[in-house]
Chain A
Amino acid sequence: MSSTVAQIRTRMPRIAEVAVERARLTVVPRRRTRAARMPFVALVSMVLLGGVVGLLLFNTSMQQASFASTALEDQASTLAARQQTLQMDLDQLRNPQRIAKAAIGLGMVQAGNPAFLELGTGKVTGVPSPGDGTTALRINPLPPKKPALLNPPAHVVTVTPEESHDTGQQSTGNGRHRDKNHQ
């Protein structure tokens, strides 16, 4: 070692001698402190354990949320479908044809002419008339016309009353005859 230094020194220019002398480094003696090991180990274990348990809990809660959301989504779509179906029922109840039918069933007739009361002046215009049901609106189509084969013209046979029969027998006989013809 010293030989090497000597060699360097010999190679060094003389002027750098002092600087080299000054720059020579020595190793700082290591200070060994013995910190307590237990708290650190405990801390790390706690963090690890906490992390693992926390992650587990987090995962579980997410899973729970997922179950809940699936169930709620199912419920929401069921309710939405139900709402739509009810809305459809409502719209069908609101069908003017149904209302008209119900109204006619209750014996209602079309309104007559209204009179108008002007609130500002208190004047009444128009000639009111009661609804008398004479202009009934036919809300259902007429039944389709039967073909001639199924709808033959009425065949009426006039039977001259026989003198010997009494009136009671006569009328029943007549009725029966007519029935036959209508078939």
Chain B
Amino acid sequence: MRQTRPPRGSRRGSPQLRLRVGFVFIAMVLSLFGARLVQLQGLDPNSYAAMAAAEGLVRVDLPAERGDILDRNGEPLADSVDGMMVVADPALTAAKAPELARFLYKRLDIDYVSTLTKLRAPGSRFEYIARRVPSTLATAVIAAAEKHGYDGLDTRRDPVRDYPAGDVAANLVGFMGTDEPLAGFERTFDTQLSGTDGSARYEVGGGNRIPLGDQTVTKPVDGQDLRTTIDLDLQWYTQRVLRQTVEDAGAESGFAVVMDSRTGELLAVADDPTYDANDPTDAPKADLGSRAMQDVYEPGSVEKVLTVSSLLDEGLVTPQTRIVVPPMLMREDRPIHDWFPHGTIHLTMAGAIAKSSNIATVLAADRFKQGQLYDYLRQFGLGQPTGIGVRGETAGLLPARSVWTHQTQDRIAFGQSLSVNGVQMAAAINTIANDGVRVSPSLIEGSATTDDGQPVGTDHTTKRRVVSSRAATQMTHMMERVVDPEVGVAPAAQVPGYVVAGKTGTAQRVGKACGCYDGTFTVSFAGFAPADDPRFTVYVVVQNPSNGGGGGSVGGPAFSKIMSYALKRYAVPPTGAKPSTLPVEW
């Protein structure tokens, strides 16, 4: 048997040779594997790991919801709504573009022609059709489009910032740009409002999450709400009264401030002209800020309240102090006039306020020692920003003590040669309403930190006594004479049923072009009620009225309307007191 078989070696070669060939072959294959291993693990390990991970792994942004901006009662001035953008792929939509454009124009209320152009855009694969559409509407539109057989539409996340009250408090709240806040509280308190987006990564199969698959979730941290001290309804009313006042006076602009006398909380800060926060690009850029905070102006006779209450506090005058008022007062090289022509008249200090006599005020202010008035005005908060959290707030211009001349003091005593911002001045007048204690104004309920790190809000309210309680009461009595129909200059500022204390102001304005008084005026009225137990301080300022009106005839009626509404709204009963009958002449 064995000998019939052919010997193995002869056909397959020697075993040793075969082994060697085999080993060499295996070594070659293994070295190829080794090289590949080095390539994968040594040279470029991450890209392959990433490619492996990307396979079937879905990454979703979990957007943080932007905090709302609320009024004092929790009504939203700005709120966020889950929104979407509608986008189109022109390659797919071009065929049915006219029908689709018509359909979108009807459902989304967008421009037909520009939509049609986008739907037909040659060579493009991505066009924005509508942005910031509430997601329910966007989803419904896409579903309806699919039902009609229109292809090529899609949605993406695009949160909607809605300002339900439109222009109400828009100058304070600000607005959002396409992706970032552009103005107002939206920008100042963006850190607090925006929150932090989260994200989720998970593996999917067939559109569903794989249960035991790799997944990580970073939860989003929603933005916190910002609560302001604004009262939505009062703010709206103030804005409408102000607009009517500015329009009827043919004025350039105006603002009005309503302040809670006791707490310094600002219930309304109205600006006119204003803008619709839902559509800020429609308004001129000049209207987008807050004039009440960002514009400086000379307060005029309203400032006499501060001068005279300082004199009262020093005991230099009393309301009955007798002053002989000449028709014109020559100070060095400059004459000082009153707003009304008169011969030599005999006014009391109260009369100087009631009739708003510059000459009488200047004569009374002569009793100050050097620098005393400056110190008082600083104490009233002039020349320093109020720090209520409004962007670009001006500090006003109070000339430094070192540059005060005799003439400077004369002019400052009746409210020229110094500039203020609206809230600053309202807070100064409110000092008299609050029994001589200046309470710092605030616009944010609680506490919030601005983008430059300054904490603001009612938690940081400070109080300081500026004038004595007695001086404040005397000043109030004198201010009650301003609205007296017989002796005062602003009977239109009366609020039926209540005793009102106030002061008019008509100041010369500095023109932008010449840097001098250009013949235009700032008219204003500041006051508080009920005079014997003040609850609100209202300050109305109108710039450049073209109807020739003054503080009493333009600001007075607006003050009366706003104050009356505020007292009704907060159910402040009349105190039953009688207005003061201080003598104005002697």
Contact = CB atoms under 8 A, between A and B. Distances in A.
A113 B211 contact: no
Contacts of A95: 164-166, 168
B207 to A, nearest CB: 7
Interface stretch (A17-25, A29-37, A134-142, A164-172): A134-142
Interface stretch (A2-10, A45-53, A124-132, A151-159): A124-132
Interface string A53-66: 00000010011011
Interface in B149-170: 160, 162, 164-166, 168
B207 A66 contact: no
B122 interface: no
Contacts of A75: none
Nearest to B567: A114
B244 A70 contact: no
A88 B573 contact: no
Interface in B172-218: 207-212
A97 B568 contact: no
Interface string B244-258: 100100000000000
Contact of B75 (A63, A67, A94): A94
A67 B206 CA distance: 10
Contacts of A113: 496-497, 564, 568
Contact of B209 (A69, A81, A100): A69
Contacts of B209: 66, 69-70
A66 B79 contact: no
B136 A141 contact: no
Contact of A111 (B166, B568, B571): B568
Main secondary structure of the interface of B (DSSP, over half): mixed
Contact of B496 (A88, A91, A127): A127
B139 interface: yes
B88 to A, nearest CB: 21
A88 B240 contact: no
A174 interface: no
A85 B84 CA distance: 12
Interface stretch (B231-239, B436-444, B510-518): B231-239
A127 B497 contact: yes
Given A82-B136, A137-B241, A138-B240, A70 B211 contact: no
A145 to B, nearest CB: 10
B137 A137 contact: no
A102 interface: no
Contacts of A118: 573
B134 A85 contact: yes
A88 B165 contact: no
B134 A88 contact: yes
Give the bracket for the number of chain B residues in contact with chain A.
35 or more
19 contacts: A66-B211, A70-B209, A78-B139, A81-B139, A84-B81, A85-B82, A87-B79, A87-B81, A92-B162, A94-B75, A95-B166, A95-B168, A96-B232, A100-B236, A113-B568, A118-B573, A126-B497, A137-B241, A138-B243
B576 interface: yes
Contacts of B162: 88, 91-92
A66 to B, nearest CB: 5
A53 B81 CA distance: 48
A135 B289 CA distance: 30
Contact of B237 (A91, A137, A142): A137
Nearest to A136: B244
A88 B247 contact: no
B164 A92 contact: yes
Contacts of B90: none
Contact of A97 (B165, B210, B244): B165
B233 A81 contact: no
A80 interface: yes
Contact of B574 (A80, A116, A138, A139): A116
Interface string B280-321: 000000000000000000000000000000000000000000
A94 B168 CA distance: 12
Contact of B244 (A63, A87, A126, A137): A137
A63 B571 CA distance: 62
A85 B79 CA distance: 11
Interface of A: 59, 62-63, 65-67, 69-70, 77-78, 80-82, 84-85, 87-88, 91-92, 94-97, 100, 111, 113-114, 116, 118, 125-127, 129, 135, 137-139, 141-142
Interface in B81-112: 81-82
A77 B162 CA distance: 19
A67 B207 CA distance: 9
A63 B205 CA distance: 10
B135 A97 contact: no
Given A85-B136, A96-B165, A135-B561, A91 B76 contact: yes
Contacts of A114: 568, 571
B494 to A, nearest CB: 12
Contacts of A125: 573-574, 576
Contacts of A87: 79, 81
A65 B240 contact: no
A80 B247 CA distance: 44
Contacts of B571: 114, 116
Contact of B168 (A81, A96, A116, A138): A96
Contacts of A94: 75, 164
Interface in B551-586: 561, 564, 568, 571, 573-574, 576
A100 B76 CA distance: 18
A91 B164 CA distance: 6
Given A85-B82, A91-B75, 17 more contacts: A80-B82, A81-B135, A84-B135, A88-B81, A91-B162, A95-B164, A96-B237, A97-B166, A111-B568, A113-B568, A114-B571, A126-B574, A127-B497, A135-B561, A137-B561, A138-B243, A139-B240
B574 A70 contact: no
Contacts of A70: 207-209
Nearest to B557: A135
Interface in B519-568: 561, 564, 568
